[in-house]
């Protein structure tokens, strides 16, 4: 993959400033602007996940915990595979909503469904990352956490840069490695917040969820410099942004 964007090359060399406190404070500020819309979109995603759960229960006739063991079948694995693919554009939609909000572009909850045209690439990348993450967690957890963190930019790279799954994963890993210490600290904060979500029986996710996606949006904007924040041009999925630089995968 050849990169001809000088700003991006500078970022990949670790030359762009990245202040952890600044990122977290800006994400908190962005929450005051878009939290309601993001919460609605996340509720829509979780409603779809719940629907998958209903299908799972009805398909495998699950009535007790022991029945979950029966999910270790080819049919169960296939259902998980399909759900990972179908949900990928939805998570990409939430990510792009945060990015567009950061750029002062109007967003609405239905934007979560705007990126199904990227289903093949997003779905394949989600499956690859999911498999690598599971392998990583099987290897004493930390490798799994690294894969999760290192793949943080994959979805917007596919949507905006029009990269293929492998190229997007590779570029995301390169960028995270260039700023590993700062991003690791940020993700440690996010992990602590997720612990708070668990302790609050999920209620804290009303704020933590949007905050997480806003943190990702700020990191993506600062490191990849995709578009000037004042640019008011449309970001429809079918359009190619002229300011994204050149990527030859």
CA-wise closest residue to 125 among 146, 94, 153: 153
Q: Write down the pLDDT at residue 40.
A: 97
CA-wise closest residue to 21 among 182, 151, 161: 182
Measure the CA–CA gap between 126 and 133, rounded to whole angstroms: 10
Give the per-residue SS3 of 86-126. HHHHHHHHHHHHHHHHHCCCCCCHHHHHCCHHHHHHHHHHH
- pLDDT less than 70: residues of the chain: 1-5, 59-78, 226-249
Task: List, in sequence order, every residue forming a beta bridge with 3; answer none if it has no partner.
Answer: 247
Q: Write down the pLDDT at residue 75.
A: 57
Task: List, in sequence order, every residue forming a beta bridge with 247; answer none if it has no partner.
Answer: 3
DSSP string across the chain: -EE--HHHHHHHTT-S---HHHHHHHHHHHHHHHHHHHHHHHHHHHHHHHHHHHHHHHHHT--SGGGGGGGSSHHHHHHHHHHHHHHHHHHHHHHHHHHHHHTT----GGGGGTTGGGHHHHHHHHHHHHHHHHHHHHTTSHHHHHHHHHTTTHHHHHHHS---HHHHHHHHHHHHHHTHHHHHHHHHHHHHHHHHHHHTTTTTHHHHHHHHHHHHHHHHHHHH--S-TT------TTS--TTS--EE-
Q: Write down the pLDDT at residue 99.
A: 96
Q: Which single residue is written with the structure tokens 């000088």? A: 6
CA-wise closest residue to 217 among 38, 45, 4, 44: 38
Q: Write down the pLDDT at residue 14.
A: 82
CA-wise closest residue to 210 among 15, 29, 22, 39: 39
Using only the alpha carbons of the chain, give its radius of gyration: 18
Q: Write down the pLDDT at residue 83.
A: 84
Please state the domain extents for the chain.
2-248
CA-wise closest residue to 95 among 221, 190, 200, 231: 221
Measure the CA–CA gap between 150 and 169, rounded to whole angstroms: 8
Q: Write down the pLDDT at residue 249.
A: 47
Give tens-digit pLDDT for 107-165: 999 999 999 999 999 999 999 999 999 899 988 889 999 999 999 999 999 999 999 99
């Amino acid at each position: 993959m050849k990169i001809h964007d000088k700003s991006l090359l500078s970022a990949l060399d670790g030359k762009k400033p990245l202040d952890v406190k600044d990122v977290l404070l800006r994400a908190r500020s962005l929450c005051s602007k878009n939290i309601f819309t993001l919460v609605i979109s996340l509720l829509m995603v979780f409603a779809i996940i719940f629907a998958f759960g209903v299908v799972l229960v009805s398909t495998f006739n699950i009535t007790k915990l022991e029945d979950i063991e029966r999910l270790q079948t080819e049919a169960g694995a296939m259902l998980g595979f399909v759900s990972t693919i179908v949900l990928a554009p939805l998570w990409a939609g939430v990510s792009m909503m945060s990015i567009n909000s950061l750029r002062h572009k109007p967003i609405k909850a239905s934007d979560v469904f705007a990126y199904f045209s990227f289903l093949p690439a997003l779905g394949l990348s989600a499956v690859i990352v999911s498999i690598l993450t599971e392998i990583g967690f099987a290897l004493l957890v930390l490798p799994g956490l690294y894969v999760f963190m290192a793949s943080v930019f994959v979805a917007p790279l596919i949507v905006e840069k029009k990269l293929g799954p492998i190229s997007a994963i590779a570029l995301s890993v390169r960028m995270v490695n260039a700023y590993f210490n700062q991003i690791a600290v940020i993700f440690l904060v996010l992990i602590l917040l997720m612990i708070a979500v668990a302790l609050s029986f999920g209620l804290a996710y009303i704020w933590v969820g949007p905050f997480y996606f806003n943190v990702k949006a700020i990191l993506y904007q600062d490191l990849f410099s995709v578009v000037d924040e004042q640019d008011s041009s449309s970001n429809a999925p079918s359009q190619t942004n002229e300011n994204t630089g050149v990527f030859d995968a």
